[in-house]
Each structure stands twice: as C-alpha cells, then as structure tokens.
Amino acid sequence: MPDSPLRVIPLGGLGEIGQNMMVFEYEDDIVVVDAGVLFAEGDMPGVDFAIPDITYLIENKDKIRAILITHGHEDHIGALPYVLKELDVPVYASRLTHGLISVKLRERGALKDARLNVVEPYAPFKVGKFRVEFFRVCHSIPDAMGIAITTPLGIVVHTGDFKIDHTPADGHATDFASLAQITADGVLLLCSDSTYAEVKGYTESEKIVGEALDSAIREAKGRVMVATFASLISRVQHVIDAAIKYDRKVTVVGRSMSNNVNMALNMGYLTAPSGTIVAMKDARQLPHNKVIIMATGSQGEPTSALVRISNGQHQDVEVVPGDTVIISASPIPGNELVVAKTIDNLFRKGANVLYSRIATVHVHGHASQEELKMMLSLVNPQYLVPVHGEHRHLISHAKLGQSMGIPEENTFVLDDGDVLELTAKEGHVVDKVQAGHIFVDGRYLLDMHSNIISERRRLAKDGVVVVSVVLSESTGKAFSPPEVVSSGFAELDESQDLFERTSKMVTTNLEEGGAGGLELEELKAKVTDSISRFLFKETRRRPTVLTIIDQV
C-alpha cells in the first residue's frame, strides 16, 4: 500500500449553496473539481456574486494537473473566468458543459487562452497520478456528469449535482450499471450532493414539468412567456416541443439565454425544425396566440427581461391581459421576495401567472433521501464526505450515511479550507488552509473580511453625516460654523435644526480648547466621536460620521 495520504480540501460549496470547488491532492498532484460562483446574499450590499478564495491553489499552482467540471451550471463553472486568470490549467468537461464554458469565456474575451478539453463519459484519461472517468448522472441540465477519480489509495466518486430520473428530458437516465462496474473493486471515498438531503422520499422526474408546460401552453389563449435559467437547456426543449405541437413560434430574449440556445442548437443539444425559433422583430408581427417568449429573470434579477417586462420597462414586450407567464424555476434562497414581487406585478398587469407553488412547472435537480441512499448503497464507500449544501444539509447527509452503515468516524462534515487526510485505515482533518469567499463587485474583487462590506451595511442602516471644519492655521479657530451634510440619515425638516445644533456643538467644543495641542488626526477623531455621540443621543441612530478638517 502507498504511504502517502490522499488530501481532500473543499474550497467552496460547503456551508453555502453554490460556489462549488473541491481539491483532491496526492503527493505532487492536484485535481480540482468544479469552479462555481455563489449568488449574492441579501446582506452583501453591492456584491454581484462570490467566487472561492483560491489562495491555496495559487500557492500550489505547479501541482495542479486539471480542473474537472461536472456540469454547466453557474455554481459549478461561474468562477472559471477568474480562476483561469490565475491558473494556467487544462479544463475537462462534457460536450455541452464545454459549450457553456466556451460561451462564458468568449463573452469575456478569455476563450483563446483557455485550455478546454471535451470529455466523453466512460472514456478514462490520466492526469498526473490520477485516472479520471466521467459517468452520466441526471440533473436539470443535459450532459451532467459524476466523476470517478482513481488515486493510488483507491477510487474517489464525486457525484456532482444529481438526481435519479428514469424519464429525464434528454433521455439519459442516471447510468447505475456503468457506475456499478466502475466501482466494482471498492470505493475509498464518496463525495455526494447534499442539497436536498433534508428531504424524505424521491425527487420528481423532469417529465412532469414537460407535461405541465405542454398543458399550460395548450390552454393559453394569448401570448406565452416562459422564464427560466439561461442554462436550463432541457426546459427550452420542452418549450420548443410544445411550440411545434400547438403551432407557435419561439423567440428568445436576453443575451445569455440567446447565446446558450444558439450554442445548444449548433451542438445538437436542442432540436428545433427550421423556422421554429424566430427573432423578436418577426415574433412581433405574429398574433399573440402564435408566440412563446423565452426569457431569463426567474430569480427576479433586477435587470433581467422578465423583471423589466413585469415593471413595464421592456422595450419589446408589454404584458397585456390574456398573456400567460410561466416561471419555470424556484427562487434560490434569498430571492423569495423579489420573485414574489415580480409575480405580483405580472398579475397586476392582467397576466395569468403559473409558478412552482401552484403548478408543476418546475422540479429541482437534486436527489432526495431515498436517492441518496441508493447512491450510498451502490457505491458503498469506505469514507463519506457530503458536498454541495449548507452545513445542516451536510449533517443530514452524514446521518443518512451512518444509517446506511458507514461508521461515524468515517463520515466527515467539513468546512471550507479543512484538510482531510485519508489513508487506507483512517481519516482525520489535519490542517486548515485559507478558504472562503472573494466578493465580486463589478470589476473589483473584495476580500471576505473587507471593511467595504461592513461600511456599506452601516451606511445602509443609518446613512452618513459629513462635517466640514475650516480652521485658521494661525488662530486655531474655525472660520465659520462647521458645515454639516448628510445622505440617508434623516428627513430635511428634521435634520435642519439638528445639524445647526451639531454645528454649534462642534464650534463650542473647538472653542473650549478642544483643538489645543492635538494633532490633526487626533482632533478629527475627537470631533467625529463627539458628533456620533451627540447624534445618537438625539436620534438613537448611528450614522457613519466623516469629519473633514481643513487648515488654511
């Protein structure tokens, strides 16, 4: 048996939904699985999304042999543009996933430098000391793969996101027979999707969504709009199928969805007879009952087509009574309120809105408990590391594993950055490396401990008050009463008197020798502090106070 341990390090995807990234390290070889983004949460003002902190990978860049991608959703590929800027590493993905990655990198002008490779399932290849084999799983996107990584210590099976669907949209059911062959000689470690590990029973098949979309489109009297994720290719196929059946044309709104649909059509992942998909300008010439509009915006994203349509701010589409709007997605946690507002706005405009709470127009793509048990039973691993999910999901999954006979000491609920070392005999968390979120704010990256975020939270809560003092360098006295301005702090009628008193208070403080002998920075801090205390006493608010002192 080899002496070296296998090191397993989550850099993302634990403790939070999204932002998946797992590191497998054996001696001088590293493979990385997935490179996703985490969608911004409500308490992260100004942040677009988060990517994993890859300091550990940058420090070990010479060891990295490959990034393996399980499937083409944002929370698995979204960080690639950032990661590939730092790491010149080959990326391996299935055909459709490769297509989606290419679209993403091309949009950022980063495609030509990337080393992208297409992987066929069940076609093993070597990267460093590892032998890698992709196997088919079902998820809410075609060409989703699990990955078997044969290491000198044994086989690691990483499921990616999966569910067990006997009637999936793309016809490729989870291939248990092949997985059984791959894992026939025993499995060291199973890393398995935990997103729905809390939920009993089985997840429903994508087939019922196809049926619900079909019946909604059949019964629609006017125009139909379908909102979903840009990457939910199988939904687009359902819609195209219904369009053909009920003699409608499909038009696609929004850049990311158009790009993905075109790519998927070119690659054969979508099939539509010529003339089925038409441009918006052509769709506008058709009677409403001949049109289906596909758009993004199922998460209530403020700049998306659907939200602009719901607000009456879209240049091409205006909702009219008789329209049917289908939201074919569930809100990602944190988006519940904005999605609900979008639905309400569409109802107010007279649309008939179908959404997951009242119609089966969406099912998710993750295994529930019985499916997870089936995976555990088939793979029968020595060790279990639940991945993909918040901490409580990982714990549910670990308990499920224990109920299936995996000893408690062989199940590991990890945090990002934990270094798990596995040998043939035992596993231990031996170290913690830097890990966590890097926040993407437009073109800037913010460290997760950045003051910017806490400053913004404080600004959001109580606003800002600025006091400007001009001191005479010769006399040390203020030339005029200090000026006070604010934003987000108080209504004008309330602040006018308050700011006059603030100004007087500062003047009095300065005149009472407050300025004497103090350095400028000390004086500033003292004035800021006295203003903060004064405003809190008067208003019970704690605005950010910025003091500027000029000496002339």
CA–CA distance, 170 with 391 (Å, rounded to integer): 32
392 binds its own copies (CB under 8 A): yes
User: Under rule CB under 8 A, how many of the chain's residues touch its own copies?
Assistant: 64
344 binds its own copies (CB under 8 A): yes
Q: What are phi and psi of 52, to 5 degrees?
A: -70, 150
* Amino acid in position 520: L
Name 22's bridge partners.
10, 33
Active-site option among 53, 193, 416, 418: 193
Q: What contacts 470, CB < 8 A, 6 or more positions away?
A: 478, 479, 480, 549, 550, 551, 552
Residues between 81 and 140 with contacts to its own copies, criterion CB under 8 A: none
Active-site option among 98, 158, 314, 366: 366
Q: Which of 275, 442, 516, 517 binds its own copies (CB under 8 A)?
A: 442
337 binds its own copies (CB under 8 A): yes
**Would you tell me how many other CB atoms lie within 10 Å of the CB of residue 83?**
21
431 is an active site residue: no
Q: Which of 278, 459, 507, 514 binds its own copies (CB under 8 A)?
A: 459
For residue 477, the minimal CB distance to its own copies (Å) is 12
CA–CA distance, 267 with 282 (Å, rounded to integer): 25
Indicate the residue among 211 and 344 with the shorter CB distance to its own copies: 344
For residue 358, the minimal CB distance to its own copies (Å) is 5
448 binds its own copies (CB under 8 A): no
Indicate the residue among 243 and 339 with the shorter CB distance to its own copies: 339
Residues between 197 and 256 with contacts to its own copies, criterion CB under 8 A: 198-199
How large is the angle between the packed helices 233-245 and 255-267, nearest 10 degrees? Answer: 80
460 binds its own copies (CB under 8 A): yes
Q: What are phi and psi of 68, to 5 degrees?
A: -105, 130
Q: CB–CB of 58/87 below 8 Å?
A: yes
185 is an active site residue: no
Q: Which of 357, 428, 432, 504 binds its own copies (CB under 8 A)?
A: 357
Q: CB–CB of 396/200 below 8 Å?
A: no
Q: What contacts 176, CB < 8 A, 6 or more positions away?
A: 378
Q: How far is CA 433 from CA 68, 393, 419, 436, in A?
A: 21, 23, 7, 10
Indicate the residue among 65 and 393 with the shorter CB distance to its own copies: 393
What is the DSSP code string of 497-530?
Answer: HHHHHHHHHHHHHIIIIITTT--HHHHHHHHHHH
Indicate the residue among 461 and 504 with the shorter CB distance to its own copies: 461
430 binds its own copies (CB under 8 A): no
537 binds its own copies (CB under 8 A): no
46 binds its own copies (CB under 8 A): yes
Left (φ > 0), alpha (ψ -120 to 50) or beta: where does 34 sit?
left
Which residues contact its own copies by CB under 8 A? 15, 41-43, 45-46, 198-199, 333-334, 336-337, 340, 343-344, 347-348, 353, 357-358, 390-392, 395-396, 441-444, 446, 450-452, 455-464, 466, 468, 470, 479-480, 483, 485, 487-491, 494, 539-541, 544, 546, 548, 550, 552
Q: Which residues are catalytic?
A: 193, 366
